[in-house]
Amino acid sequence: MDTYSRFDVEIEEFTTLERADSIENALKNASQKIISSLPKNKKIAISNVSAEEKDYSDFITGELEVILLDAGFIVVDRRQLDFIRQEQNIQLSGDVDDNEIISIGRFSGANTVITGAINGSGSTRRLRLRLLDVETSQVITASSERF
């Protein structure tokens, strides 16, 4: 019985590691598309990436910030975005209207806002990122990657 229990744990750990690698690849591919659409002088706000699992949301948002900073972009401090959200009484825990996200971007001084979501379950999950222009409210680019 111990061998069987131990085997289950090893399989579960491998699946978790495999999924972590896949989400990193999805983020790498999605962020490359976003970055290729951005002039270097843009100030970027990263909105909350909605996901059922908060860990995924935090991971994507945090890693995206690092990727953008490493690529030489100016990223709005997340504490500043949190303050603006509180002032405007906007909760970004789920789906939020693009106009609310753009409003937060404007107040933060950002030119563009990145928003996203993780949808699906199991092997059919997708990371979707969108880049919005705060002046025109247009979607500049979008990316959808399976993980």
CATH number, position 88: 3.40.50.10610
* 8 confidence band (pLDDT: 50, 70, 90): very low
pLDDT surpassing 70 at residue 7 = no
Helix (H, G, I), strand (E, B) or coil at 41: coil
pLDDT of residue 66: 95
pLDDT of residue 22: 87
Higher pLDDT, residue 126 or 82: 126
Containing domain of residue 54, as a range? Answer: 2-146
The string of pLDDT tens digits covering residues 12-27 is: 333 443 444 589 999 9
Give the DSSP letter of residue 124.
G
* H-helix or E-strand spanning residue 126: strand 126-133
* 89 confidence band (pLDDT: 50, 70, 90): low
The string of pLDDT tens digits covering residues 15-63 is: 443 444 589 999 999 999 999 998 878 899 998 789 988 898 889 999 9
The number of domains in the chain is 1
Paired sense of beta strands 43-50 and 112-119, if any: parallel
